[in-house]
Chains A and B, each alone.
Chain A
Amino acid sequence: MTTVFRNYSSSEALQSDRSSGDRLRHRQKVREAIRDNIADIVAEQSIIGRSRDTIIKVPLRGIKEYRFVYGDNSGRAGQGNGDSQPGQVVGRNQQEGEGIGKAGDRPGVDYYETDVTLEELVDMMFEDLELPDLERKALRETISHSATKRKGYRKVGIHVQLDKRRTVLSRIRRKVATGAESDETAERPEAGPPEGRARFPFIQGDLRFRRRTEDVDYESNAVVLCLMDTSGSMDTMKKYLARSFFFLLYQFVRTRYQHVELVFVAHDAEAREVSEEDFFHKGESGGTLISSAYAKALEIIDQRYHPSLWNVYAFHCSDGDNMSSDNPQALKLAAELCKTCNLFGYGEIKPHGGYHESDAMISVFRDLEAENFQAVRIGDKSDIWAGFKSFLTKDKATASPTD
């Protein structure tokens, strides 16, 4: 029997990160799993209205390693603490996600949460959307400032841009290259001034000019107009759904612009601009005149967010119980909003079931022919993500109600 000892070598240790490939693949799978579950995560109340550095725990379901395992209908044996008695409670029934699990035969081991910041999550969400068309059509950047800046050199130009130093340098270069320095007259019969030293003049090709290009600063301001029906029929649940939708819209717009402002317009029979707090929490009562909100929105845009400087996104959430006499007016103003906004959306929040086609605003908006208008119906939490996606894709063919 012999024994071999192999000593530690740090250079080998540095090279030996053999699990890196598998770790990378695992992380990719984690990311995929998060992306697959985004609809659920978005529906969780906890992320709405948080700051972007908030760390969210995302439960992962996609990357368990499934096997045939036993459930917990039977007892297990273990060691007690020395004087166990029947009936004694010795711990919690380990549910998924708790603790490290026992001895590797519990499936709970496989479940875990991962921490991501809201920022990452939002990036992932919109990465998933893959909307090249949207980028072109709906996102607009306006030129706010235009000037010129230096960018390299070129051989032609106007005289004020002549770069003397570089011109001289290029002449010297040429001179050395032709060998004129050592053998002055041999190759240059036209040269040979009386002083005895050959003249080596600047030629057109030596000249170097500074190049200037146009420098454009894009104004990337955007405003998200949140319009919400706060009439008596909008209960807390409906407001929560609306809030989720506004949150998504705001986060999305934020990923595309440096500066994003939010405007909240609440309306029942008449519209007011309100604070975020009031917007979501103050109940109103009374009838519903949707046109009032649109008029107010147009007014705000006109006064503060002119479309030539601002990218305007407007979204309106309502339960659709508009006074029928107001419908033509609302339709007219909606068409006008479509002209001023990059995107204008209407979300009808109607719990599944008690839905009547006839008195819904969404059917009125069928008549609205605009490229950048989209109406979605939201029945419950699960519709939010789907609705949001269809709002952005504006694919009229598939924009039928999402339930």
Chain B
Amino acid sequence: MQLKNFIESPCGLRYMLDQLDLQSGFARRWLLDSSFMTRGEDIVGTYDVLHRFTEFVYQVEPLFINTLNHKLCGLKDIRTTIKNLHGNSVLDDIELFEVKHLALLATEVKALLKQHGMDGVVEIPPMDEVISILDPDGMRIATFYIYDSYSDQLKALRIQMRQHPEQQEELLLQANKLEDGVRADLSRKLHPFAVSIENAQLALARIDVNLAKALQMKQMGLTFPVLSNDGTTRYEAMFHPQVKEALAQRGREFQPVDITFGEQPTLITGANMGGKTVVLKTLTLCQLLFQFGFGIPAAAAQIAVKDEIHFCIGDEQSVEKGLSSFAAEMKNIDAVIQASRMEKKILALIDEPARTTNPTEGAALVTALLQVLADKDMSLVMTTHYDIEPGKARCLRVKGFENGEMNYQLVEVQDGEVPHEALNIAESLGIDSEWINTARNLLETCP
């Protein structure tokens, strides 16, 4: 799976990518094509590189970052040209220009990074020979044409052209033939460097991506995660950057949450509006960010690597697909059960399963789901409003309303008893009192 497959996930990954200040479209494509890492050493290696870039971002002047970013802006997607070079085709002027432009850019970026001892962090292959092929006069300017110095004959023809404009058409024909010869010769000379040129392009994309990730870490206050060895995932002061930003715009503050879970199922209960869905969204987001090597929105994080992430949230898109919300949800959860029977490490985050059906069957479905998944080798975090028997599950509860304010913190409780705060919350929202009071009376008469 690649990053682009997760971008529309309702956990808010797109926001993180939109907030990433990438300089080139090529780097963005490269990032979107990058793979979901499932090997601990790959993840650690990726964070090692990002670590160096983060230190660098804190060390150097913002002006220097601007200069570097300005250079990286010039990175173009020249994969077609590189493919032609690999395939031994004769490159045309535009393609030769692209190669020269990339070679000069790679050299300049390398020199800039070297000033801060960063040149070896992402290896940029040397481009000197490529440049000398395409810059015969040693001008070191990123422009290109078939220069006079490639061929004395060509040079003579061009002088003639200027002196006798009336013969231009005829002379141009002769010149074109000579130019074609030069292009063939240049392409032949460049062919052995095709791999280095390709690597230089990838290296620049990696630098762009790492620099953007490092700046995002600094700007959003993200942290480096620790790889968990015992299957336990632990977040301290975890937050959701998009929700945090939306709250900040309304002058409110996001209350960070601490949460730990392992391979024992975790059941989260709590009042409406208690942030249960946001917790699941954030857990999904953090796991994805971890396995694509981004900074983690928390004060501290220790995360276990997973092979698959399943985030099941009652989503409105299912209506467009012609499924009822219940059918769509059942199918999503079914996929979790099927996956849990494979030899895979799974993280499943399920938001209020079976919420759209009647409470009797709904509660039965949820209790059964917990039982079916409890013995599987997987991490499960689930929210519910139903009063159910937690079985082997660990129960967490949102603290809920305290002195008229919502406390979003999670506390461990012994049973899965759900709080009965819906009426109080509805009242605090200013909902019609006739309705609420009638409901209250009903509860009192038939408990």
Q: Does B bind A?
A: no
Residues on B facing A (Cβ under 8 Å): none
Residues on A facing B (Cβ under 8 Å): none
